[in-house]
């Protein structure tokens, strides 16, 4: 099933680009399901796991053509940020 999803939807784009075309609730389901399945398959020894194309930003950062940083500030002053942070944690747990 994972191989079919990867070959059908992730041949030319990453899972985040696919999920961006979905509504908010479905986006969360697609991303969390994808990463749970990927982690489970990676835990199995000898499993041939199909991979989507690498994320452009991470590929550029690995080559030294881009930098990645995290900026935190102000997230705790508005409850919307707390809900967004909880949602991100739920997806990428």
Supply the DSSP symbol for 65.
S
Instruction: Look at residue 44 in the predicted model and tell me its pLDDT.
Output: 83
pLDDT over 80 at 8, yes or no: yes
Instruction: Look at residue 33 in the predicted model and tell me its pLDDT.
Output: 92
Give residue-wise pLDDT tens across range 24-78.
889 989 999 998 998 888 888 666 888 887 777 888 999 999 998 877 666 556 7
Give residue-wise pLDDT tens across range 12-23.
888 988 899 999
Q: Give the CA count within 13 Å in the CB-facing half-sphere of 20.
A: 6
CA dihedral (56, 22, 43, 69) in degrees, to 10, reads 40
Which of 70, 75, 48, 74 is CA-nearest to residue 57? 70
Instruction: Look at residue 56 in the predicted model and tell me its pLDDT.
Output: 79
């Amino acid at each position: 099933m994972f191989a079919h999803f990867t070959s059908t939807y992730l041949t030319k784009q990453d899972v985040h680009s696919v999920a961006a075309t979905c509504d908010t609730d479905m986006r969360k389901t697609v991303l969390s399901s994808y990463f749970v399945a990927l982690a489970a398959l990676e835990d199995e020894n000898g499993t041939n796991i199909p991979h989507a194309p690498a994320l452009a930003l991470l590929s550029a950062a690995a080559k030294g053509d881009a930098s990645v940083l995290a900026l935190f500030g102000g997230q705790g002053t508005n409850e919307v940020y707390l809900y967004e942070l909880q949602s991100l944690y739920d997806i990428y747990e």
